[in-house]
Structure 1
């Protein structure tokens, strides 16, 4: 995926939800901090952008609207070659303080659509929390490209608000990326 595609996804998601601001929480939120020319290929492989409406009702009406209009196998997907998955703000388990570290992306300037993309370290902490192989590869590629500082990632992982055992597993995953 490219930064321009992320920006297109943001425009369309804000349009269909009639909200000016959305949150990008999946792997492609990395494009808020770095464009595809600086990222390792592994970080841009996904054809899916996870976008959460900033405010949604308890039955996730706006996330469902995103899925219906922009989701997998929608006309948008067929036309653009990527799709937008409507998700809830609480889909990812994120470190304390993540809200203050988001990266703003305003594809059409300050008066247009706005997205808050996860800070790269918060994104990687969430990926380590999930712990799937593709998530660990994603984090590893960013560390190898020197776009993620392993010590900062470890520090942030220690602030994930989950039970101690789950946090300990995540911390061990983060420690694996520290230099020997």
Structure 2
């Protein structure tokens, strides 16, 4: 997905949900801080989003411009409407959201996860594709190990899981 495609999704999701603010929590949130992120981080054709002010309308977004929709068939990418608590994020993440608002979003503000918060959510999810994304974000210098470790302690997960993620960060940062 490209930044222009994300802006299209933001515009459409905002119109559908009748909300001028859309939260982007999936991997394509990287496009908020890094509009020209490395291709290895842009393989997804979906953007995980929900309306900030009316979060219950995530289902409306998913039904209208989600996977298999005419939007998806027409453009080749889509919005995955998600619930507000889908991603497990470190304390203070809302204060660090990165805004995307320009002529292409037509007044809609997309609030993208800050890259360190995004990568930590990927470590918590722990799927293979999430690990690859986290490793690549470290490898390309889009996130720093020290900042990940600093925020790691504020994740709402059990201490054993924190240590497991800390070790994964250590390994990924040294590869």
Structures share a fold, TM > 0.5? Answer: yes
- Give the length in aligned residue pairs: 175
- Most deviating of 89-98 and 104-113: 104-113
Relative to structure 1, the CA distance from residue 132 to residue 110 in structure 2 (aligned partners, 3 Å threshold; closer, same or farther) is: closer
The match for 2:50 is 52
**Aligned with 1:89 (options 84, 92, 95):** 84
TM-score by length of 1: 0.91
CA distance in 1, matches of 2:68, 2:106: 31
* Structure 2 gaps, min length 5: none
Q: How does 1:21-36 map to 2 (within 5 A)?
A: 21-36=21-36
Q: How does 1:4-153 map to 2 (within 5 A)?
A: 4-36=4-36, 39-56=37-54, 60=56, 62-108=57-103, 112-153=107-148
CA distance in 2, matches of 1:111, 1:80: 19
Q: How does 1:156-171 map to 2 (within 5 A)?
A: 156-171=151-166
CA distance in 2, matches of 1:33, 1:26: 13
Q: Tell me, what secondary structure is at the counterpart of 1:159?
A: coil
* Structure 1 gaps, min length 5: none
Deviations 1:27-60 (A, max 9, x none): 0000011123xx2222000000000111346xx3
Kept in 2: contact 1:23–1:116 (CA 8 A): yes
CA distance in 2, matches of 1:108, 1:177: 38
Kept in 2: contact 1:154–1:175 (CA 8 A): no
CA distance in 2, matches of 1:110, 1:4: 9
For the aligned residue pairs, the C-alpha RMSD in angstroms reads 1.8
